[in-house]
Amino acid sequence: MRISAIIPTWCEAACIGAAIDAAKRVADEVIVADAGSPDGTARIAHEHGARVVHAAKGRGAQLCAGADAAGGEILLFMHADALLGAGARSALLRRLEDPSIVGGNFLLRFEGPGPLAAALSLANDLRRRWLRIYYGDSAIFVRRSVYEQIGGFKPFPIFEDYELVRRLERRGRTAYIRDVVVEVSSRRHAQAPWTTLASWVVLHTLYSVGGIAPDRLVALYNDVRARTHAHGQSSSVSRY
């Protein structure tokens, strides 16, 4: 089975090269769906051997564009700061030997010293095991035929991954690969962790319980991230 890895990007020059190099160990092709990043992300992606497609800014729209361009029977959706560990390809293909498995994801580990990264990693593991909730940072994979049957990603600015996962879990059995780790930067939480986590709980509640559309919630999401980022030292941290 041919695997296509798809990575949406916006200003990821600092990490996209490493992400592509790691993805190439898993996938037969790597597609970077860039939204016109002004920092040279697309150029670096091309230099590292990825196929670059251009899309309107917004992770949902970019993931759709990447999937449309992909040629693999298996679609692997990754974040630009995600590094899949050794053995990911064989583990993925082994799970998909079972025709009842429609897709799944990998064990997520946040990198970084101190208790925050460890706590986030544990929380994500428990949430996946107990509630079957997971997000794009854990490297979601899906059979292309199933992806098309359930309608693919919605062009949402946020919650595009959660919304796809809900449909994927209803469609059939999924595999949670815990013997291979996808390592993700804890950069999104490091500057003001409790503010970031609290805001995400509020947003998630408004979406999943309150039924408020992602197009409306994204303004609050961007505002919180901008205020959180104001306490940091770098102006180049993206929302991806």
Residue ranges of domains in the chain: 3-187, 191-232
3-state helix, strand, coil in the chain (%, to 5): 45, 20, 35
Phi/psi of residue 229, nearest 5 degrees: -65, -25
State the CB neighbour count (10 A cutoff) for residue 175.
19
Beta strands in 68-138 (DSSP E): 74-77, 82-84, 101-111
Using 70 as the pLDDT threshold, list the residues of the chain that sit under it. Answer: 186-194, 196, 222-240
Q: Tell me the pLDDT of the chain averaged across its residues.
A: 89
Q: Does domain 3-187 have CATH number 3.90.550.10?
A: yes
pLDDT of amino acid 114: 72
pLDDT of amino acid 111: 86
**178-197 pLDDT tens trace:** 999 999 876 555 555 667 67
Helix axis angle for 193-208 and 214-229, nearest 10°, is 180
Q: Report percent pLDDT > 70 for the chain.
A: 87
pLDDT of amino acid 67: 98
Rounded CA-CA distance 78/74 in Å is 13
Residue given tokens 């497609």 in the structure block:
53
